[in-house]
Each structure stands twice: as C-alpha cells, then as structure tokens.
Structure 1
Amino acid sequence: MDLLHAVLVDPFVQMASLPDFFVQVLWEGLVSGILYALIALGFVLIFKASGVFNFAQGIMVVFAALSLVGLHAIGVPAYLALALCILVMLALAVAVERLVLRPLVNQPDIILFMATIGLTYFLIGLGELIFGGEPKVMITEELGLPTGSFEWETLGGRVIFQAIDIAAAVIAAAMVAGLALFFQKTRIGRALRAVADDHQAALSVGISLQQIWAIVWFAAGIVALATGIMWGARSDVSFALQIIALKALPVLVLGGLTSVPGAIVGGLIIGIGEKLGEIYWGPLLGGGIESWLAYVIALGFLLFRPQGLFGERIIERV
C-alpha cells in the first residue's frame, strides 16, 4: 500500500503543493521535447524520401556543430562560418548521394541501413582527426543568440527561463513549421512526397531520385546544424551529443517514421514525460531514469500501436 501511495499519489501531491516548480519542470521538458522533435525531423525527412533509416543523423549534428566552432576558432567570422557550414552540409549531402546511395539503388533496406552506420563511424573518425576529441564551447554570443535568464513570478513562486532555451524553442518551432510548409506547398516538397509514396511512379513522371535524395539529405543537414547549435549552446559541443540525438529513436516510435506532425508530438511527449519522470518518480528508483525512461515510454507505445501515433498501418494480404 505504501508503494502504491508513493507511486500513484505522492508525485501528484508534490505537483499541487509546489505549482511554480511544476511549471518549471514542464517548461524544461517542453524545450527538450522541441529539440528532440527537431532531431527526429532529420530522420523523418530522409526516411520519407528514400526509405533509409539514417543512423548517421546523430553524428551529423555533432559534425555540423564542430565545423562551425572549428571554423570560428581559426579566425573565420561567426556568420561567415555559419554560411560555410551550410556549404559543408551541402557537400556532405552530394557526397552521400553520389558515393553511398547511388551505388546501392535497389539494394535491401538493411544494406542501406548498414551503409549509414558506416557513414557514422567515418564522420566520427574524420571529426576527431580534424577537430580533436575534447569538448568545445559553442559561439553563442557571436551568433547573436541571447544569454542570461529572467524570472516570472507566478503561482506563489518564481519560474526561471533561460534566454537560450526560449530562442531554441522559437527557432526549432519555426524550422518545424517551415519544413511542414515546404512539404505541403512547394514543387520540390510535392516531389519528395511522391518519391516517398512510390519510387517507380515518381520516376515514371520524370522526378529524379538522385536530385531528391541530395536535397533531402541537405535539408537533414541543415536541421542537424540548427540542432547542434541549440544543443551546443545549452551544453558543450562534443561527441556525446550524438547520444542525445539517439533520443530521436523513441520519438520516432511514438510519432511514426514518416510523419512530420508525429515527430513534433512524439518529441513533446518524450521531452515532458522524461522530465516529469526524473523529478517526481526518479527518487523512487534512485534517480537517473532520464537516460532510459524515453525508451520505456516508446516500448509501451510499441505494444499497443506499433506504427506510432501518426504512422500508417500496413496490411499485407497473403
């Protein structure tokens, strides 16, 4: 009975007794969730267009952020370094299409997946060779991103907002909205959706798979760059960021591999859920549950809805 009370009653009593702290936890979970959604979008973009689960998306986040910091470290002005990083992600997209995807057209999905694992370790080695393995400090102020914090008095207490968290939430939300509009309203976006629906049908109406794949990997690279800047501003830029990027996996399980809205909703569920779990239920398990709770939430969804909240149910008749 005591255990049931500790699990089912005490956490909610704590939420009600300290509502300002509860709002603080919700805010931090919301920011994390939006950034998880941004990472997941990179996976969704590539999977929708090519059917490839891009295991390298996490290291692309790290490589983009390291490139930005590294260019600035050798004297390149911040905004010029940002522009050069965009060109780096374009070059990476073209190289992946030419050297990885094009030779493996019509190969089984597992072959393409293994190719992205190989790409992951190639970028890890290249990044360590060029930038070294020690953590770097993101050029937050040089990019014009806000720093500091402010307090909001509410519910009998104070909620602290970090300026960089607000900027991250706004930028991430703007990118998510922009990508959604891009998919729905532009000619290239419609071509991407056509390729996602049926490669052969898209080819028959003159859509170039190679061009679409290069575009979508470039878009995923831009998402990776934005994600690397935001996560790097909140912590350090290091290869540990790719572990954070793997939080996109439970987000994808919740939202569905092909759904942009699913990535958003899944990211918010995971971000808020793991923060609430860590603060209010974590002490019952000794703390540290934030590292694995997201995967448990995803497992629960898999048991009841394997295709995710917004994924398509596939029915095969035999």
Structure 2
Amino acid sequence: MFLVVAVGLAGVAGVLGAQPGLGALVGAGAGEAGGGPAGRGADGRSPVSWAGPWLSELAYLPGTASGVVSRARDDPRGVREHADISASGARMDRWQDLIALVNARLEAARPSERGVFAAGVAERLMGWHEALPEDEQAAFTLGLRPLLNSVWEGVLGDPEVYTAVNRGLAEYMLSDYCHNDRLVGPDDAYEPAAGATLNAAYAYLFGCTDFAVWASRRAIDDQHLEYLAGAGLEDGDLLDTDKALIDELKRRLRDLDLIAARSTELRHARFGLPILTSVRLRVELRTPLSRRG
C-alpha cells in the first residue's frame, strides 16, 4: 500500500512541480486550442494542454467580472441567490462570467464538497458515454467505471475505498495512457468521461480546487455540448451550443448549492460517516448529481 500511495503522490507532485506556473503558461498562450468554449477566445487567451488528461483542455481562465470571485468567497456556502451575485458584476447570460463564478465557488468550497462535485460531473459524462452505440464506446473509458464507483463511495463517507482509488490512479500513471506527448501517445485518457473520472479521483484523494475545475471542464467539451444541445430537438432544428453551455454552467451552480446544503455532513466524509448517513447522501446527492439534462 505504501508503494501505491508513493507512486500516486510522486506522480502528481512530479507533473505539477515540473511545470511552469499556470499564470505564465496561460499568459504565453501555451498549448494548442482545445474544444468547447476555450476555442471561442473572447479575450484572446488559449487553454493549456500538457502533461496528462487532467491538464489537457485546462479550464479557460477569462478575466473575471468585477466582484464575482470576492463575492463567492464571502459566501462560500452559496447562501445568497445567484441574482445577488450577478448584481455584483457577473452576467448570468455570459458563459465567461459563469465559468468564473463556478471556479470561484469551487475554490471557496471545502475539499470534500469538491470531490462530490467532480464525481457528479464524471458520472454524467460516464452515463453519456455508456449510452453511446457500442462501436463508439471506448474500452479504456468503460474500464474506469469501477474507479468512479469507488470515488462515489469515498466522497460519500466510506474510507475503505481510499486504497482502491489510489491503486487505480497508480495503475493509470504507470501505464502507457499517462504521458506528456499528445501528438504521438495514446489519446484514450483525453476522452471526456475518462478525463473527468481521473480528475474526480484526484479531487477525492487530494481535495485540490484544480482537479475539480478540470473535471468540470470535461463536461463542456464540444462533443458533449452538441449532445446537450441536441436533446429534444426536432429534425431540421439548429444546434445552439451557446445556450447548452450556459445551461450546463447554471446547472453546476445548482449542483454546488445542493452540495453546500450538506456541507456539515460532508466535512469529515473522507474519514468515514455512519452507514445510514452515507446511504441517505447517496439518495440526496448521487442520484440528482448523476441525472443528465
């Protein structure tokens, strides 16, 4: 078990520690343009792609609207209505402001809340992938389902799965799927559901804001936005991915509110919760957070 933990910690520390600061990379426009809103370039910045799937399609970092981050930090549990936050500078019809607000809420949240949020994003993407025609499904992604199930158990209060999650990530990091050469190496781990699941596992183990943000980022991949935009459309209707993006980001704010309402119970979830509490949280959190649409 010590070896597994050491590999996981060393791998994450090595990847993160060996890279230049995120500010320098984003400021320099490093990396290739990714899918989703990052390609829209409202302020001319590019996303960053380097060193593994949790870092690919790095969360777009637009200039935050005045007061969005500070207000979210003042109200980390999401008590104020979103309209009040909007009055401080964020426009709820602008995806740039919504991304900034979601990211600020994640930064203000407790580590345990970030893990639940990331698991919810990964679950929706995994469910979407599992519903694809068989010839469009990826074996690597489907193989991560047990890892995602373990993450859910962990974030909702079962400490016994910590080793299983650690081992799952260690196996990935020692495999050919974990690499820093996106041009040549296998791209299986860059698939949205796979990337979100790996990020959710890291969010559970380490509680860092970045992993929750990067998991969140996978759900606004172009392919998934097209799926969201196409839900319920009649033949001949045009896809409105801009609306799908805004609706998805607003959904995340509602998810964060739902999670924040159970913050007290989740605070010590990684160390174990009573069985009845965990069972109740599965109903109150896993079920609604997993629901697509």
The one of the two structures with greater contact order (alpha-carbon pairs below 8 A, sep at least 6) is 1
What is the TM-score when the length of structure 2 is the normalising length?
A: 0.30
More helix by share: 1
